[in-house]
Each structure stands twice: as structure tokens, then as C-alpha cells.
Amino acid sequence: KLNISINGFPVEIAKGKTILEAADEQGIKIPTLCYHKDLCVAGNCRVCVVEVVGQNRLSAACATPVEEGMEILTNSLKVRNSRKHIIELLLAEHNADCTKCYRNGNCELQELASEYKIMTQDFLELVPLKNYTIDMFSPSIIKDDSKCIRCQRCVRTCAELQGVNALTVAHKGDKMKITTFFEKAMRDVVCTNCGQCVNHCPTGALVEKNYIEEVWEAIANPNKHVVVQTAPAVRVGLGEELGLEPGSRVTGQMVAALKRLGFDSVLDTDFTADLTIMEEGTELLTRLKKALVDKDESVSLPMATSCSPGWIKYIEHMYPEHLEHLSTCKSPQQMFGALVKTYYAKARNLEPENIVSVSIMPCTAKKFEAYRPEMHDSGYRDVDYVLTTRELAILIKQAGLDFNKLKPVKYDRLMGESTGAAVIFGATGGVMEAALRTAYEIVTGREVPFKNLDITPVRGMEGVREASVKIENPLKEWAFLDGVELKCAIAHGLVNAKTVMDSVKSGKADYHFIEFMACPGGCLGGGGQPIPTNPEIRKKRAEAIYTEDSELALRKSHENPEVQKLYRDFLKEPLGEVSHHLLHTKYTK
Ligand code: HC1
């Protein structure tokens, strides 16, 4: 322990902490902008400056380790004036048209300007003098340079968390800007649309492309039947946008809110998550049979999950020669979209062209996914509009709903039933766990050998995790799997996907099945989730997901009665002809 004083009060602090962490422990907030708990320290915005008695310069609290005997002043006149000047300088270079900004009300710069009561303009207004661009070409993300404060959180996010490096710093001094390769549009570079930059941006420089008005218009149109699906992770994130604590589970209230907003049918992406397990599990077993029994060398193993559209874009860009490892399954969002305008339309006696299919996702890449040319197998665009968790909160606020007063309601029928296996899709390792629960039982006729069906080795927040399950005494049809150790890997955050893909590429990976999720923590940490998202918040959302699973009566995808009905009435069998047409696709180079 080190003995120091903060603002004149003696305190003991563990060695290795920064001044920022030490102050935080003591309940003293030091403002930050370039700092984010997910990222390495940059120390470039200087908003967190503090005074260390005896030194004739100010220090950045985020980048200065505490030393024995330090006397730290976080709120001296010198500190306050300096911070105020920094904020004023940032504002002079910032398009401060806050009332017209998408981040109005949740902007870190705006909050600081308010806290420090910046009411005068002492510095020259620089914004109108510069020629700023707004890149609106991507279906997922808008980049508005006039709002950028050059903190570089987005650049570090794209490099450190995602290993993508789509964003970079160009030029120096007052010409310095955050840009892309040759200043191309985000749409035309290696951007995966994951939206982690959006989630980590302190201002409105990077925001999701929102489709709020389009959805209101559809709801208001009496000739349209508007169906909404909600992704697994939205139910453990939405509450935060509406004032609840991280980790609040709001499934039933969310359904109630969606009904009050005027959607004609409120259904669940979890239904098609269960369906994905049926299709993907069957695909994995088919590939194993071809490889082990038929000795077919053209079969690609390991098989990789294909539900995260950021991951799909990443492998398309970075490992195009390995696309055959991807499962042919579309994501649950897209399976849902294809079924809404076919199976659901028929069952409800609706014309598919009169259906508007909306999805609520924790993800910005899902907007891009819905727009892909591969996603029109119903004969129409399968999913018309994708809103993030944040956009749904905006709809709820605009409608004036008091979320806390809503009584929980159940999803509508036909495509609204789901199991715990589907809920855990929202957490890293969840797709793997769901697949193992079903595949093991199909092969052996017995439940997976883990207490309470909790396959704990695949859970957690390690960037890359490995697990294996030994198959013993399988049913006759699967005798070739007797004694096989099914080897699995899980990677979340694209920087970790790179580690695993490099081992696949070098031939060192002897896995059978790999789950890849583009975002840290899986979808619960998606680019469309509430801001802030950080390690503690992701942990709370993950706990909420696993609690939701543990409390459900059905926890294995193959037990979902509506999925069983779908096969009986429409699809007939996994990987059958109809499934092949509607639920599967092939991504090409
Ligand atoms: Fe996900 Fe998925 S889990 S990709 O993270 O497979 O976005 O929540 O909806 O499609 O189900 C996201 C979440 C989501 C799909 C499912």
C-alpha cells in the first residue's frame, strides 16, 4: 500500500493504481474523455489533469501512477481553470449544435460543458472555417467529423478490441482527423459495421444510422402489418437506456412496450435462435459424418458459427479463402425475416408485401446484414428495418410510456416461443452451449453431462476459450462418434477471432466447432447496446442472461414446441429443401 493524500485527506492506495483509479476509489470523480475502461491509456485529451504538489506541471490522472507520499489536488483553482480551458478549446473545434445532435442528452462533452458551465466563447470558433464531411453511405454507421474531438477512442477500439484498423489518424496539428484508408467512405473500407466505435465514441461523431421515422410510418400505415422481433441481448440491455441498473431483465415489460407502440405482432428472435441450433447442429453432425465416415476431404472442419454479421464481414475481408468454414445457416435475425414473409404470412393469411418486418438488435451490423443481397429469399427484403436497443428506447420515450409501470406481457404465438438455450445466444459462448445441449442429446439420447445443463467451461469473458465434450455410448446411428472428443473454441471481439483464425489458417487448430462473435462479451456488448458499455456492465448483462436461462422451463432448443410445429407444418426436416432455400446461404469472396 502507498500512503498519499487526495485534496488534503490522507488515504492508502494499492500499488500500481493510477491517480484516476485512486480518486475513483475515494468517490472522487475526475472527468475524462479519451479514457475508456476497455482501452489502453492514451492521455491525449488532458481533461483529467490534476495537480501534484511540488510539481510545476499538471499531470494526466489517467496516465500517472500513484507514488508514495504524493499530495494530489483534483479540484484546485489551477486544475479547474485548466480543465475549463481544455473544454472550451474542444468546444471551439466542435460542432456544438447540440439540440440537433443524435447524442443530445448522452454526450460526454455536453455533460462536461454543462458541469463546468461553459457559457462564454473565449476562443475563435473554428468549425465553420473547416470543410467537414459527413459519411452517410453505410447502412449501419454515420460518421460526422464536425462532432469529432479527436480523442481517438474509436481508433483504439477498432485496433485493440477488433483488430480491424478501419479507422486511423491522419495529418497533424489542427488538421489532424480521424479517417479511413484514403479517406474512403466507411462502406468502402474494411469496416465490419460492428459499431464498437459508435459505442465507444464520447460524442455524436459516430452514431448508428437510425430508422426511427421509417418504423413510425409503417406502424401508422393501416395497410401494413408490422411484425417485430427482439434479439436475445436486448432484454438485458434496454433497461439501462430507461434508467434501470445494468443487468436488469425487462423481457416482459419490453414486450408490453412494443405492443403499446402499435406493432401488430411482437415475436422473438429467440424462436429462430432455437431453430438455428436445429439447423446448425444437424449441419455439424453431417459434416462430422462426411469427414469421419466417408473420409470426404472436401468437408471443412472446424465449422464456424455464422450468426454474427460483424464476424461474417470480418472473415470476408480478412480470411476470404476460409469462408467454407462458415456454417451455411443464416443468422437467427435473417431466418426470422425469411419465415415472417412465408410461413407466418401464410398462417395469418397475410400478403407478404403488406408485412413490414422490424427487428430490435443490440447490433449495428445487423442493419447491414438485413440489407445484404443474400437476404431476400422470401421473395422480398426479409427484414425491412433494424433498430438498435438504443433506438427502441427512443421509441418508448417518444411514445411517453412509463416503462416501469408496464406489466410484463408474453410474446405473441407462432414465432414467439423460445428456450433458455436461445436466450444465452446473447452472451459469448452461448451459441456453443446451446448447440452442445442439443447435439449431445441427439447423438446419445441423454442430456449433456453438466450439472443443471450449465456447460460452464464455455462461459466467461476470456477472449479465447476452449472446451471439449467426450461422446460416449452414442445411439446406433451415431456409432462413428463413440469416444470422439468434440473439441470447441469460442472467440469474442474480432481481435480474438484473429488469433483463432490464424491457428485455423496454419492448420494448428484441431477444433470441430468454433463460435465467433464480433463484439466483446458477445451480443450483450454489441455496438447497438446502451452507452456506456464496459467490462463491469457486460458482466452484469451476462449474469442476467444466464439467470433468465436458468429460470425457463424449457432450456434445450429441440424442445421448443413452436419450432417442432414449424418442422411439422412447413420445413419438414432440418437441412431439408425448404430450409435450404429460406434459412441457408453461402457467402462468397
Ligand atoms: Fe445476437 Fe443472434 S445472438 S447475433 O448476438 O445469433 O445482434 O442478441 O440477435 O441473429 O438470436 C445480435 C443478440 C442476435 C442473431 C440471435
| 85-113 pLDDT per residue, tens | 999 999 988 998 999 999 999 999 999 99
Q: Is 111 an active-site residue?
A: no
Confidence of residue 130 (pLDDT cuts 50, 70, 90): low
Nearest CA, atom 9, ligand 1: 231
Candidate from 357, 363, 415 with most ligand 1 atoms within 8 A of CB, to mutate: 363
Cell 511540488 appears where? 54
pLDDT for res 128: 61
Average pLDDT of span 164-186: 94
Q: pTM to 2 decimals?
A: 0.97
Q: In ligand 1, which atom is closest to the CA atom of 269? A: 11
Mean pLDDT of all residues in 150-173: 97
> Confidence band (pLDDT; 50, 70, 90) for 448?
very high
Order of strands, sheet of 485-492, starting from the edge strand that comes earlier in the sequence: 303-304, 513-517, 485-492, 464-470
Mean pLDDT of 538-561: 98
d(CA 538, CA 522): 9
pLDDT at 215: 99
Portion of the chain with pLDDT greater than 90, in percent: 96
Measured CA to CA, the distance from residue 4 to residue 69 in angstroms comes to: 5
Integer Cα distance of 98 and 108 in angstroms: 12
The CB of 141 under 6 Å from ligand 1? The reply is: no
Let me know if 366 is a catalytic residue: yes
In the chain, the amino acid numbered 576 is G
Which pLDDT tens digit goes with each residue over 251-298? Answer: 999 999 999 999 999 999 999 999 999 999 999 999 999 999 999 999
> Is 418 among the residues known to form the active site?
no
User: pLDDT by residue (tens digit) across 55-78?
Assistant: 999 999 999 999 999 999 999 999
Ligand 1: which atom is nearest the Cα of residue 307?
6
Mean pLDDT of 361-365: 98
Assess whether 369 carries a catalytic annotation.
Answer: yes
CA distance 301 to 288: 8
pLDDT band at 120 (very low <50, low <70, confident <90, very high): confident
Mean model confidence pLDDT for the chain: 97
Residue 333 Cβ contacting ligand 1 at under 6 Å: yes
- DSSP for 432-493 reads HHHHHHHHHHHHHSS--SSGGG--GGG-S--SEEEEEEE--S--GGGGGGTT-EEEEEEEES
What's CA 115's distance to the chain center, in Å? 30
Q: Burial, 88: exposed, middle or buried (Cβ in 10 Å; 0-12, 13-18, 19+)?
A: middle
pLDDT computed for residue 129 by the predictor: 56
The alpha carbon of 50 is separated from its chain's Cα centroid by a whole number of angstroms, namely 35
